[in-house]
């Protein structure tokens, strides 16, 4: 549960999968099933996700990772002359190596507010575009990209999501939400956005598996049936169609059985909240006020160096020569013992 003998809090994808997932992979291993996600496990996982989202007509399919999912969905939703609106801190903007541009689309960035987009800024961008007499010479805004939690570990309120959705729908702009760490949002006391809300207010979104207890895999949900015609072929064209589709199906079938996805989120959030409490009591400064499984701490460089001897954290940024922001991330795999040991080190 650690790198060498350090405490490991670098990220939420440092272990394998939740043990139940491996158990089910093992149990089903020698069964033969159809390929490419047409197997009964994938179908059953889809059914459970539809139920959890209260979206009986939804199409659900599984993709191996987040960048692939974002690139695929954005390429599939947009027409060539359109771009995707994102916060400047959005994952697709800075940290996906140009995967969106590889598909031919511009990322149209807006300044973030604590990691989030604001409905008013989106509305303003759309109006500015509409009113610009030269807009035929410009990339047309064609969809909106959000993530929940955001890159900063922050959360949209239901009201914020509704407002953004209302702006989008008033102009027929699809709203897409990246839920790479969705379990850690859903488990937050501060969160008031549910899966059915996502199905109500978004045109497409994904429920993250890789960072929420799966070996790999993200579940894409599109509340309206056949929202993107021939998406299967585009998945293949993107190299994102796995022959043994059932492996993802079994994983999501497991995650959506007996509340496992919720339980996974709760472990991480309880751990993060214990750590946050200890940090507060010991007088640490938070660089970002995030309520989810990521904690961003502003350290004196010296203090950070000392702590890094005992704890693996993620480097976030260096605001000046004397300070550094480090990230502590908890996950479904974080144990009470590891949290205790971390708190002892602070």
Which parts of 136-155 interact with a copy of itself (CB under 8 A)?
136-140
Closest CA to 224 of 3, 91, 59, 42: 59
Distance of CA 136 to the CA centre of its chain: 33
By CB under 8 A, the residues from 148 to 207 that bind a copy of itself are none
Closest CA to 165 of 134, 207, 122: 122
Whether the CB-CB separation of 17 and 251 falls below 8 Å is answered with: yes
Residue 65 interacts with a copy of itself (CB under 8 A)? yes
Whether the CB-CB separation of 122 and 167 falls below 8 Å is answered with: yes
Residue 219 interacts with a copy of itself (CB under 8 A)? no
By CB under 8 A, the residues from 38 to 57 that bind a copy of itself are none
Instruction: Identify the three-state secondary structure at position 122.
Output: helix
Structure tokens of 268?
């991480």
Residue 320 interacts with a copy of itself (CB under 8 A)? no
Angle at 307 between CA 304 and CA 310, to 5 degrees: 150
What is the distance between the alpha carbons of residues 284 and 303, in angstroms, rounded to a whole number? Answer: 11
Which residue, 165 or 210, is less far from a copy of itself as judged by CB? 210
Which residue, 216 or 227, is less far from a copy of itself as judged by CB? 216
What is the distance between the alpha carbons of residues 79 and 20, in angstroms, rounded to a whole number? Answer: 41
By CB under 8 A, the residues from 258 to 287 that bind a copy of itself are none
Residue 5 interacts with a copy of itself (CB under 8 A)? no
CB of 115 to a copy of itself, least distance (A): 17
Which residue, 5 or 283, is less far from a copy of itself as judged by CB? 5
Residue 321 interacts with a copy of itself (CB under 8 A)? no
The single residue among 148, 246, 276, 327 that binds a copy of itself, judged by CB under 8 A, is 246
Residue 121 interacts with a copy of itself (CB under 8 A)? no
């Amino acid at each position: 549960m650690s790198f060498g003998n350090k405490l490991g809090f670098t990220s939420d994808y440092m272990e394998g999968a939740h043990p139940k997932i491996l158990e089910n992979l093992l149990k089903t291993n020698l069964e033969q099933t159809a390929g490419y996600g047409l197997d009964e496990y994938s179908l059953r996982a889809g059914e459970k996700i539809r139920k959890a989202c209260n979206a009986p007509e939804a199409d659900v399919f599984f993709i191996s990772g987040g960048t692939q999912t974002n690139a695929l969905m954005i390429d599939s939703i947009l027409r060539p002359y359109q771009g995707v609106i994102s916060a400047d801190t959005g994952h697709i903007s800075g940290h996906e190596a140009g995967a969106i541009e590889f598909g031919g689309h511009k990322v149209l960035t807006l300044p973030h507010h604590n990691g989030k987009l604001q409905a008013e800024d989106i509305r303003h961008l759309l109006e500015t575009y509409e009113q610009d007499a030269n807009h035929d010479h410009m990339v047309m805004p064609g969809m909106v990209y959000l993530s929940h939690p955001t890159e900063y570990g922050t959360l949209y309120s239901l009201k914020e999501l509704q407002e953004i959705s209302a702006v989008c729908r008033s102009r027929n702009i699809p709203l897409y939400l990246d839920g790479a760490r969705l379990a850690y949002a859903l488990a937050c006391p501060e969160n008031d956005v549910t899966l059915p809300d996502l199905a109500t207010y978004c045109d497409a979104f994904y429920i993250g598996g890789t960072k929420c207890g799966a070996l790999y895999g993200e579940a894409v949900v599109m509340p309206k049936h056949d929202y993107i015609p021939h998406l299967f072929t585009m998945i293949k064209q993107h190299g994102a169609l796995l022959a043994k589709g059932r492996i993802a199906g079994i994983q999501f079938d497991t995650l959506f059985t007996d509340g496992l996805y919720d339980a996974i989120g709760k472990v991480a959030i309880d751990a993060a909240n214990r750590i946050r409490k200890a940090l507060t009591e010991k007088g640490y400064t938070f660089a970002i006020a995030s309520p989810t499984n990521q904690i961003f701490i502003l350290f004196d460089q010296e203090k950070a160096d000392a702590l890094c001897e005992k704890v693996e954290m993620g480097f976030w940024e260096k605001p000046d020569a004397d300070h550094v922001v480090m990230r502590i991330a908890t996950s479904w795999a974080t144990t009470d013992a590891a949290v205790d040991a971390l708190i002892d080190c602070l």
